[in-house]
Structure 1
Amino acid sequence: MTIGSHLQVLHGLPAFDFPGADAKAGELPDPASVAWRIAVEAYESEEAWEDAFARFTAAVDTTRVRALIVGAWSDVYESGPGEVVSALLAARDRLPELRALFVGDITGEECEISWINQGDVTPLLDGFPELEEFGVRGGMGLAFGAARHDRLRTLVIESGGLPAEVVRGVAACELPSLESLDLWLGTSGYGGDAELTDLGPFLAGTRLPGLRRLALRNSEIQDEIAAALAAAPVVARLDVLDLSMGTLGDQGAAALLEGQPLTHLKELDLHHHFIDAPMAERIRRALEPSGVTVNLDDVQESWDDDGDDGRFTAVAE
């Protein structure tokens, strides 16, 4: 499976595509009413992303813009977003109300997730201290250094393979207001080499005092993560635990059930899994009577190839 559609909503605002250079002039929405998506052709675009952004800043009252979505920049399969980051930082004084930013809203048709070239996105956190939501898609070349951000509430990193160095960088951040952390860990075949020890700071619950939603998903080590969460201190204060999109099977599911109580959760998301029907029923019976919403959609069938256990993540290439 690949990413088949662009973001529809960011920061509670509907996404709106800023018109291309050759589009007919038309009335634009109120600057504060939408999440503005700025993108160019992913392959050999005639317009650079930063030029499209310059048209945007000339046409829209950016002092009222609340959410920005960075779509494709030209040749994303071989070029990172360095110029994109520079353009955004150069305009930061013109974006005083910006509260949400997503970098890399790129579909599989434009460029598969594991072929998106990324870069160091940490300067964006430093440059926009009022951000409440930040997201990025693509793990190749991604860098995320230890940063401090006092207002960030939601952090999303989507990948087909998230480098351990990035996971460690996020774990080293000081994010006292963070309520939702969503990491797509991916597979080793696409650079996802994080191990349980790299996830330790999140599981301990000491680094992110405000965390209420933890998503460690799209992982080929989902059973191991589930087993670690069975005794992880962070779980006791979560509202939502998300282990979806990965290779979770009966072993990991049993570990969750046999570990610490989960009945305080509002939601347990396990969709796209390899849990058999009897174990799935055990989970429902254990949690749903307490009011926990359990998502066990998208059950998968494993296939065996040369001794492989045949499980696969929802998003890889």
Structure 2
Amino acid sequence: MTVHEHLTEYAGLPVVDFTPETGREELPDEPDRFAWRISTAFEEEGFSDVLERFLEWVDTGRITALIAGYWNMPSYDGTETVPPAQALTAAADRLPALRSLFLGDIVMEEAEISWIEHSDISPLLAAYPRLERFGVRGAQGLELKPFRSEHLRELRFESGGLPGHIVRAVAASDLPALESLVLWLGSDNYGGDATVADLAPILSGERLPALRHLGLQDSEIQDEICAAVASAPVVARLESLALSMGTMTDEGAEALLSGQPLTHLRSLDLHHHYLTDAMAERIRKALPGVEVDLDEQNDPNDDWRVAAVTE
């Protein structure tokens, strides 16, 4: 996923749009063959209005994948609207087959990631207990209480600054089926105040017995995270690990190379880093059977190191 382009595929399905301009005659005959992106336009109808029309026009009992695209943000367009999480929670009985949900497929031309406004998503997760895939972009106003899900396999938070209370809520959740967890931690300047201590329950793996992919990305404390990952019990069972998009330097890489073996991994994503050429070569040689992504090398001598996605 990228913050520059809308999703064209989600949950293995092609994405089709439902907007204020969508006409009933344009709807495909087999709605269950698509992931539906519902969005409004700047200063037009609210998200809940467009969602209601979607629920009336489409056989939503067959819909398995849904995406919330752009919605009016009260703080910068003055429009008071029902937040998507609240609107979707109220519609749960009309979406009984929903298994994949992504909130905030919003690109930079529509709103910076730090401007995307959310609400409490705990009722939403409770309303859809059979979700297998859930993702959120943006973190302003985001609230989450620890939860349990027997079915969730993928959980993803994309943010330029993920609050520590969200990370702690995820870490305290019981997710026995979760196979993939991705957290874009971001910058403290945009609310990303999570610490390595907040990540400790995740790194222990105690509540995540099925985890096979872990992404702790886009962080200004990437070296500290690397040091913690180097001895984390959860790593031994992972197939892929992403420590990319942050401010990783040779210090963090040294911690990884000095820690537990990583040769069992299928892939190690370190793109957008501040490694020297020599350290990048050491990593490649140390992990000959691992697909290592070391693209987007930044100047190791740069004193102003930034994560890939912040504002």
TM-score with structure 2 setting the length: 0.94
Render the CA deviation track for 1:169-220: whole Å, top value 9, x for unaligned: 1111111111100000001111111111001001111121111100000000
Distance of 2:52 and 2:248 partners within structure 1: 45
Give the counterpart letter for 1:135 in structure 2: G
CA positional deviation for 1:19: 4.1
Counterpart among 49, 52, 55 of residue 53 in structure 2? 55
Partner residue, 1:175: 175
The Cα offsets for residues 200-254 of structure 1, whole Å up to 9 and x where unpaired, read as 0011111211111000000000011001111111110000110011111111011
Q: How does 1:173-212 map to 2 (within 5 A)?
A: 173-212=173-212
1:241 aligns with 2:241: yes
Q: Does 1:86 align with 2:86?
A: yes
| SS of match in other structure, 1:228 | helix
- Show the counterpart of 1:44: 43
Seq. identity, %: 54
How many residues end up aligned between the 2 structures?
308
For the residue of structure 2 that corresponds to 1:25, the secondary structure is: helix
**How far apart are 1:299 and its partner, in Å?**
0.9
Secondary structure at the aligned position of 1:217 is classed as: strand
Instruction: Work out the CA distance in 2 between the residues paired with 1:225 and 1:218.
Output: 11
Q: Work out whether 1:74 is the aligned partner of 2:72.
A: yes
Task: Please name the residue that 2:256 is paired with.
Answer: 256
Q: CA RMSD in A?
A: 1.8
Is residue 220 from structure 1 mapped to residue 214 from structure 2 by the alignment?
no
Kindly provide the CA deviation profile for residues 249-279 of structure 1, in whole angstroms up to 9, marking residues without a partner as x: 1110111011100000011000111111111
Structure 1 partner of 2:291 = 293
Q: Report the Cα offset of residue 87 of structure 1.
A: 2.3
My pick for the range that moved more, 9-18 or 171-180, is 9-18
Check the 8 A contact 2:46/2:81 in 1, yes or no.
no
Give 5+ residue unaligned stretches, structure 2: none
Deviation of residue 39 (structure 1)?
A: 0.2
Match of 2:158 in 1: 158
Structure 1 portions without partners, runs of 5+: none
Instruction: Establish whether residue 316 from structure 1 lines up as the match of residue 310 from structure 2.
Output: yes
Taking structure 1 as the reference length, what is the TM-score of the superposition?
Answer: 0.93
Change over 3 Å in CA distance of 1:101–1:277 after alignment to 2: same
Q: Matched residues in 2 for 1:283 and 1:200: separation?
A: 25
The one-letter code matched in structure 2 to 1:121 is I
- Judging changes above 3 Å, is the alpha-carbon distance between structure 1 residues 275 and 29 closer, same or farther for their aligned structure 2 residues? farther
Give the conservation status (yes or no) of the 8 Å contact 1:77–1:116: no
Shift of 1:50: 0.9
1:58-103 residue CA offsets vs partner (Å, 9 max, x unmatched): 2211011010000111126557974422321222122111110001
Partner amino acid for 1:313?
Answer: A
**Match for 1:311: what amino acid?**
R
Which amino acid in structure 2 is aligned with residue 26 of structure 1? Answer: E
